[in-house]
Amino acid sequence: MRADAPRIGRFVPGYATAVIDERAVRAGAGILFLLGGVSFAAAYFTGRVEIMQPFGMLFLIDMLLRVTAGDRWSPSLALGRLAVRGQRPEWVGAPQKAFAWWLGFGLAAISCASMGVFAAPLWLTLALCSICLTLLFLETAFGICVGCALQARFGRTPPQYCPGDSCVVEQPTPTS
C-alpha cells in the first residue's frame, strides 16, 4: 500500500484516482435500504416516529464513519464487502462516492434532528426518510448514484470511473 493511502477507497494499478468496489457499495446500500424500509414501514403503520430513531442513528453513524474515518470503518460496507467477496470488483471513482456519502450524511442529520430535537410531525420525518430510501433504492437496484451525478454537475473536478461509464461524455466526431 502506498504511503499516501486515501481515506476513502484505495489505489489500484491502472486507475488515476482512488477507487472503490461498486459491488460492495451497492450491497451496502441494499442492506441499509432493507433496514430503512422496515423501520419506515413500522413507523408509518404504528404512527410512532420513535421506531425510526435507531435506524436513523445507525444510518447517520454509518455515513459519518464513511466520510471521516473512511469506508473501511462503515458497518454496512463491511457487510457489503462480505456479501460480494467472491465476485470480481467493479472499480469506480471514490471521490464521487464521498460526495454522495456527504449528501447521505446531511440528509441523515436533518432526519435525525427532525425526529429528536425538532420533534417534527411524523409526515415530515417520513418525507425526509423517503428521500434517503429513494436514493438507496436507486443505488442498489439500478446502480444510479444520484450524489455522483450531483458531484458531476456541481463539483470542481469531473468524476472519473463512474458505474457503467455514466460519466463518460462521448465527443461528437467532426464531419468534413
pLDDT (tens digit per residue) in 105-114: 999 999 999 9
Task: Indicate whether 3 belongs to any domain.
Answer: no
| Per-residue cell: 54 | 435507531
Task: Indicate whether 153 belongs to any domain.
Answer: yes
Task: Indicate whether 4 belongs to any domain.
Answer: no
Max Cα-Cα span within the chain:
67
Task: Indicate whether 80 belongs to any domain.
Answer: yes
Distance, CA of 163 to CA of 176 (rounded, Å): 34
Task: Indicate whether 74 belongs to any domain.
Answer: yes
Task: Indicate whether 2 belongs to any domain.
Answer: no
Q: Which are the contacts of 123, defined by CB distance < 8 A and separation ≥ 6?
A: none
What is the tally of structural domains in the chain?
1
Domain limits at 114? Answer: 19-165
Summarize the confidence of residues 1-6 as an average pLDDT: 63
- The model carries a pTM of 0.88
Task: Indicate whether 12 belongs to any domain.
Answer: no
Residues 156 and 99: beta-carbon distance below 8 Å: no
pLDDT digits (tens, 9 = 90+) for 24-83: 999 999 999 999 999 999 999 999 999 999 999 999 999 999 999 999 999 999 999 999
Residues 32 and 136: beta-carbon distance below 8 Å: yes
Task: Indicate whether 120 belongs to any domain.
Answer: yes
